[in-house]
Amino acid sequence: MTDYVRRILDARVYDVAMQSPLDAMPRLSARLGGDILLKREDLQPIFSFKIRGAYNRIARLSLEARACGVICASAGNHAQGVALSAHRLGIKATIVMPVTTPQIKIDAVRHWAGEVVLKGDTFDDAYAHAKSLETAHGFTFIHPFDDPDVIAGQGTIGVEILQQHADPIEAIFVPVGGGGLASGIASYVKFLHPEIKVIGVEPVDAASMKAAIEAGERVILDRVGLFADGVAVRQAGVETFRLCSKLLDDVILADTDEMCAAVKDIFEDMRVIAEPAGALSLAGLKAYVAANPDRTGALIAINSGANMNFDRLRHVAERAELGEAREILLAVTIPEQQGSYRRFVEVLGNRNITEFNYRYAAGSEAHVFVGLKLRGEGAEKASLLSELHTLGYQVLDISANETAKLHVRYMVGGRAPGLQDEVILRFEFPERPGALMKFLNGVGSDWNITLFHYRNHGADYGRVLAGLQVPQSERARFAAQLTQLGYPYEDETVNPAYRMFLGD
C-alpha cells in the first residue's frame, strides 16, 4: 500500500484530466435518508475516468518506447483514453477494437488521431490481435487495468475525494470491471482512513472479481452480460485481484433493472445521462442502503462514465421503474367471457397502468400481460397480489422474468394451436451488418421456424427469441448445430411467460 500511495501522489494525470467535482444528490438523499454524493468522472475530456490511468502510464514511457508507439485493445473508454493521451504526447497510437464496436466509439478514437484496427467479434479477439501487433511492431501495450501505473492514475480519484469531503465518510462505492479503479481508490483511502469502507459493485452477469475473491483465485467466467459493457470483463487482473482481495470490504452485485434505475436517479439529480457502468456504483449504493438502515457518514458513488449510445436510452427508460421497484409486471388469467375484461380493470382501481396486452383467445380462459406503477410503499406489491388472489384470479409476478421483459411483452396473443415439438431459445449475437442473416444461416433450414422476435436495443449485441419445430429424434443433431453456430443461448421452452402467452 505504501508503494501505491507514493505512485498515486506522484501520478501525472492533470496534464489532461480535471479534478472532477463531488456533487450532492439532494433528491436521492432525501428519498433514502443520509448524505449521498456522486463523483463526476463523466465530466472528464473523454467522459470517463479512464483518461487518468492511460495518461499516467503513457507519460512514463522512455523516449525509445515513445518512438515505437503504443497499442491497446478496447471497445470503449480505455481506447479513447489511450488515443487522447498519445495525441497529447505526440506518440503514435494503434487501437484494436472488435468489429461490433458502435461507430460513435470508433469516431471518438479517430478524433484523437488514433489508428483504429477492427478485428474479431469480441474483446478477446481484439486483445489477441493487439498482442500479436505488439510483438510484430515493438509497440508498448497499454493494459486497461492490470498495470501499476494505470492503477495509480485511477487512484488519484481517492485523493480528490478525501480532499473534497472532510466530514465523515461511511463508504465509497466503486464500479468493478477488471479492478483498476477499485484497486487505486482502495489503496489510497485505506492507507489514510482504514475505517472508510470501499465497496466494489459488479453486474450480476459479469461478477469476475466477486467470483475470484470467493474462490481465492482468479477465475474465468464462461460469459459475461454486455449491458454494462464498460465493466464486462471475464477475468480480474493479476495485480488488481491481489489488491482488491485485500482491500475491498465487500463486492455488491446489481442487475440490469437496478442500473437503469440508477441512471434515472442521476438524471433526476444532475440532468445528465450516465452510461450503465457509470451508474453501476450508485445501484450498489442503493442496495447497501436497503440492507443497512443504520448508517453514519456520507455515502459516495463514482459515476465512472457517460459514453452512452443514444439508442440505448429507450431500453433504460423502459426498465428503470422495474429497477426502482416502482412498477410490477403481471401475467393474469381471466375468464374468457363477456364483461370479464371490464371487471378486471375495475379491480385495478385508480392504479396507473403502464402496459396492458390482451387478445381474445378461444377457450374458457384468457391471459393478460399488465404493467402497474407502484406508489413506493413496500407492502403495496404484496397487498396487490393478495387482493387479486382473493378475488379468484390466477396471477404470476413476472417482473424479474428476463424473457418476459425483453420479448414476450411484445408478442402477446401469438399462439399456434396444434403446434408440435416446439423448442424456444433465447440467443445473443454480435450486432454487425449481416449478423441476422448469419444467425439464420447458422441455424440452418432443416427445422421449421415457428416464432421469431428480434429487437435492437442499441447495444453491441442483438437479442433474439426463436421457436423451432425439432422432433425428439433430432434434438441431439439440433444441439450440435447450435454448438457449431457458437452464439450463447438459453433454452426457454419451459419458461412460464412463454407457456402462458405463446405456447399451445
Could you tell me if 261 and 193 lie in one domain?
A: yes
> CA-CA distance, 43 to 253, in Å (whole number)?
25
Q: Please indicate, yes or no, whether residues 165 and 264 belong to a single structural domain of this protein.
A: yes
Q: How much is the pLDDT for 488?
A: 83
**Rounded to 5 degrees, what are φ and ψ at 90?**
70, 35
Mean pLDDT of 119-140: 89
Same domain, 208 and 287: yes
> Exposure pattern of 393-403 as b/e (b: 16+ CB <10 Å)?
bebbebbebbb
Distance separating alpha carbons of residues 164 and 9, to the nearest angstrom: 16
Place 30 in a pLDDT band, splitting at 50, 70 and 90: very high
The stretch 328-353 carries a mean pLDDT of 78
Note whether residue 405 is domain-resident: no
Residue 430 lies in a domain: yes
**pLDDT tens profile 206-218:** 999 999 999 999 9
Query: 241 and 179 in one domain?
Result: yes
pLDDT of residue 201: 98
Of these residues, 183, 281, 304, 405, which one is catalytic?
304
pLDDT confidence of residue 377: 52
Is 200 a domain residue? yes
Asked which of 400, 430, 460 is the last residue of a domain, the reply is 400
268 and 332 housed in the same domain: no
Please report, as a single letter, which amino acid is at residue 38.
L
Distance, CA of 367 to CA of 398 (rounded, Å): 13
Please pick, among 20, 48, 50, 405, the residue that the annotation labels catalytic. Answer: 50
Q: Residue 140: its pLDDT value, please? A: 97
Q: Tell me what the mean pLDDT of segment 193-216 comes to.
A: 96
Domain final residue, candidates 400, 425, 447: 400
In contact, 109 and 95? CB cutoff 8 Å = yes
CATH number of the domain residue 103 falls in: 3.40.50.1100
| pLDDT tier for residue 376 given thresholds of 50, 70 and 90 | low
Average pLDDT on 412-426 reads 79
Residue 281 within a domain? yes
What is the pLDDT of the chain when averaged over all its residues?
A: 88
**Do residues 183 and 306 both lie within one domain?**
yes
Q: Are residues 35 and 72 in the same domain?
A: no
Residues 196, 223 within the same domain: yes
pLDDT tier at 299 (50, 70, 90 boundaries)?
A: very high
Asked whether the predicted pLDDT for residue 137 surpasses 60, the reply is: yes
Q: Is-catalytic flag, 39? A: no
Separation between Cα atoms, residue 357 and residue 485, nearest integer Å: 34
Tell me, what CATH number does 441's domain have?
3.40.1020.10
Whether 304 is catalytic is yes
3-state secondary structure of 252: strand
Report residue 238 as a C-alpha cell. 493479476
Same-domain check for residues 338 and 386 = yes
193 occurs within a structural domain: yes
CATH of the domain at 384: 3.30.70.260
DSSP 277-346: HHHHHHHHHHHHHHH--S--SEEEEEE-B----GGGHHHHHHHHHHHTT-EEEEEEEEESSTTHHHHHHH
User: Is the domain of 7 the same as that of 116?
Assistant: no
DSSP 150-165: HHHHHHHHHHHHHHH-
Name the pLDDT band for 339 (thresholds 50, 70, 90).
Answer: low
Residues in the chain: 504
- Rounded-to-integer distance, Cα 66 and Cα 485, Å: 42
Question: Distance between CA 37 and CA 23 in Å, rounded?
Answer: 5
SS3 275: coil
What is the share, in percent, of the chain residues with pLDDT greater than 70? 92
Confidence of residue 89 (pLDDT cuts 50, 70, 90): very high
Best CA proximity match to 16, nearest among 57, 66, 71: 57
DSSP code of residue 39: E
Contacts of range 188-195, beta carbons closer than 8 Å, 24 or more positions apart: 188/4, 188/5, 188/8, 188/155, 188/158, 188/159, 188/162, 189/158, 189/161, 189/162, 190/1, 190/247, 191/1, 191/2, 191/4, 191/5, 192/162, 193/162, 193/169
The answer to the question of residue 45 being in a domain is: no
- Residue 392 pLDDT greater than 90, yes or no: no
Q: Which of 279, 299, 321 is the last residue of a domain?
A: 321
Q: Are both 315 and 190 inside the same structural domain? A: yes
pLDDT at 378 (0 to 100): 58
Domain count within the chain: 4
**Amino acid code (one letter) for 192:** L
Residue 212 belongs to a domain: yes
Confidence band for 455, pLDDT divided at 50, 70 and 90: low
Q: What is the DSSP letter of 40?
A: E
For 91, the domain range is: 50-141
Q: Are residues 22 and 169 in the same domain?
A: yes
Q: Is residue 69 part of a domain?
A: yes
Q: What is the arithmetic mean of pLDDT over 259-267?
A: 94
